[in-house]
Amino acid sequence: MTKVRIFVTYKPSVFDPQGDTIKKTIHALGHDEVADVQVGKFFDLTIDAQVDQVAKTVKEVAEKLLVNFNMETYTYQVMEEN
């Protein structure tokens, strides 16, 4: 089993309204030291495969399901392997 974490974020060119709203709320709480907030989603997948075989699964699942490539991009990292 291999555990991977897929991170989905807005592309840098896309405005993140939720992040902007959260930043303003954080400032209202008195934490002006927070200069920027970006919001994203992640998906933890437990995959019944060795670590060298998960890249294809991650690519297909991201491209066919999890990521809206018009606005979003993704990265992933292996969290556990055994």
Site residues for its own copies per CB under 8 A: 1, 7, 19, 22, 25-26, 29, 31, 33-49, 57, 60-61, 64-66
Check residue 64 and report its DSSP letter: I
CB of 70 to its own copies, least distance (A): 20
Of 1, 2, 4, 8, the residue nearest 75 (C-alpha): 8
Using the minimum distance from each CB to its own copies, give the nearer residue, 70 or 75: 75
Using the minimum distance from each CB to its own copies, give the nearer residue, 46 or 68: 46
Contacts of 36 (CB under 8 A, 6+ apart): 19, 23
